[in-house]
Amino acid sequence: MTTQSDLQQIEQANASGKPPVVFIHGLWLLPSSWQRWADVFVAAGYAPVVPGWPDDPDTVEEAKAHPEVFAGKSVGQVADHFCDLIGKLDRKPAVVGHSFGGLIAQITAGRGLSAASAAIDPAPFRGVLPLPISSLRAASAVLGNPANYHRAVPLTYDQFRYAFANAVDEDEAQQLYETFAVPAPGEPLFQAAAANLNPWTEVTVDTDNPDRGPLLLISGQKDHTVPWAITNASYKRQKDNPGVTEIVELPGRGHSLTIDSGWRAVCDTALAFIQRYH
């Protein structure tokens, strides 16, 4: 469902005449996690659009009070939701996504909807084969119980510390958990885990589309959830595309790299790439 807020952002972007950029968050976060990025892109002359996944609450407090609203979201539904939103823009946007948002960013690019894309520690798609132990451990909060497929699953602090905030100190990890962490649908993780076993999976990316546009993949060196092996395997699937494909590893960064105290360096990396092409 497209919210009034999302439609207003799209109308504002269209009316501004500036190049639009769409930000897509991943699991356990909300659109508000991108606010500082949006401010940087505004200052650089872009019109940011920061939509939610279908039924995203407006605030972390609301999300924690009503976790059930996150349940039952599949990768296909979420991808179609963002593609529909992007289709309402007057011109192709740049798309920036983190984690499952990075997967969605690659799906939108594969459908020829993006002028340029940055996928940050992106969740894997069918054909991306590595399954590092740390990724399995990070996902075990959900995958450990098959009933979680249809549920919304919150992370405990210890789970968040391992999956997101392993590269920051304890005080910052606690602050990030309290400020940003919300429940997430279990279904996308089960879909990603089974993508290479299911020929009909929704977790697919058209890496060959000549209209894919330039793509940057960003990997945090210390990421437990999406380690270098996964991001690099995604890069290898993408690099034969006629569009520019680049990959960069940011030293000392974990999965929280878009929201933690080092966010600006990641933001500037994505912005510099997008400015070259959009």
What is the pLDDT, as a whole number, of residue 1?
A: 66
What is the pLDDT, as a whole number, of residue 262?
A: 98
- Please, which pLDDT band fits residue 168 given cuts at 50, 70 and 90? very high
Reply yes or no on whether the pLDDT at 156 is more than 80.
Answer: yes
Domain architecture of the chain: domains with CATH: 4-277 (3.40.50.1820)
The answer to whether residues 129 and 257 touch, using CB atoms and an 8 Å cutoff, is: no
Give residue-wise pLDDT tens across range 172-227.
999 999 999 999 999 999 999 999 999 999 999 999 999 999 999 999 999 999 99
Residue 7 half-sphere exposure, CB side, CA atoms within 13 Å?
4
Reply yes or no on whether the pLDDT at 148 is more than 70.
Answer: yes
Distance CA 100, CA 186 (A): 12
What is the pLDDT, as a whole number, of residue 278?
A: 87
Give residue-wise pLDDT tens across range 96-146.
999 999 999 999 999 999 999 999 999 999 999 998 999 999 999 999 999
Reply yes or no on whether the pLDDT at 2 is more than 80.
Answer: no
In this prediction the pTM is 0.97
Reply yes or no on whether the pLDDT at 270 is more than 70.
Answer: yes
Beta bridge mates, 152? 185
Structure tokens at 180: 């940003």
What is the arithmetic mean of pLDDT over 159-166? 98
Q: Look up residue 168 and give its amino acid.
A: V
* pLDDT cut 70: percent of the chain above it: 100
| Mean pLDDT, rounded, of the chain | 96
